[in-house]
Amino acid sequence: MTDQNVSLRIIVENPPVRFAVQRGKVELLEATSANATQQVFEFSVRARDDGSGGAPNFLGPFAQGPVGGRFVYVNSGTLGGEPNSRWTRRAKVPLGGITWSMIKKGSVIEARIAGTARDGGPACATVPLLGGGWNVAQ
């Protein structure tokens, strides 16, 4: 089995509140850059090749969920570090669209999500990826 570090970037578009990426069970990663129209998070996971020719298995403190269904939590409101917020939400950003061919390019792999849910609050639950899903950054 071989592990490879993978640099990821998640961009939250039009965030109505502050977001943070969950590391492990309780730690939070703040945005590496933020303005009124987007919050950007950059971090790394490990991709394991088990030799079967299947999809990567993502590991590390940012990879949550079961093997074959890994995701990254993007928290908002009280879970995102705003104790006085009226919101307590977590969005799941699925890692399943990341392929070995993307990883082998050795560049940052990024995805965009909408920061606002249908109810007008922060994005929550499993969120759709914008722009066709995970892409190798240009």
Kindly report, residue by residue over 84-126, the tens digit of the pLDDT: 999 999 999 999 999 999 999 989 999 999 999 999 999 999 9
Query: Which pLDDT belongs to residue 52?
Result: 77
The parent domain of residue 118 ranges over: 2-136
pLDDT at position 22 over 70 = yes
Query: Which pLDDT belongs to residue 54?
Result: 84
| Burial degree of 108 (CB within 10 A; 0-12, 13-18, 19+) | middle
Average pLDDT over residues 19-32: 97
Asked if 112 contacts 91 with a C-beta cutoff of 8 angstroms, the reply is no
Query: Which pLDDT belongs to residue 1?
Result: 65
CATH of the domain at 93: 2.60.40
Give the end-to-end CA distance of the chain in Å, rounded to a whole number: 29
CA-based angle 37:41:45, to the nearest 5? 155
Portion of the chain with pLDDT greater than 70, in percent: 99
Query: Which pLDDT belongs to residue 53?
Result: 77
Listing from the earlier edge strand, what are the strands of the sheet with 88-94?
A: 27-29, 19-23, 71-77, 88-94, 125-126
| Strand duo 125-126 + 109-114: pairing | unpaired
Q: CA 128: distance to chain centroid? A: 11
Query: Which pLDDT belongs to residue 106?
Result: 85
User: How many structural domains comprise the chain?
Assistant: 1
Average pLDDT, the chain: 95
Q: CA 125: distance to chain centroid? A: 12
pLDDT confidence tier of residue 36, bands split at 50, 70 and 90:
very high
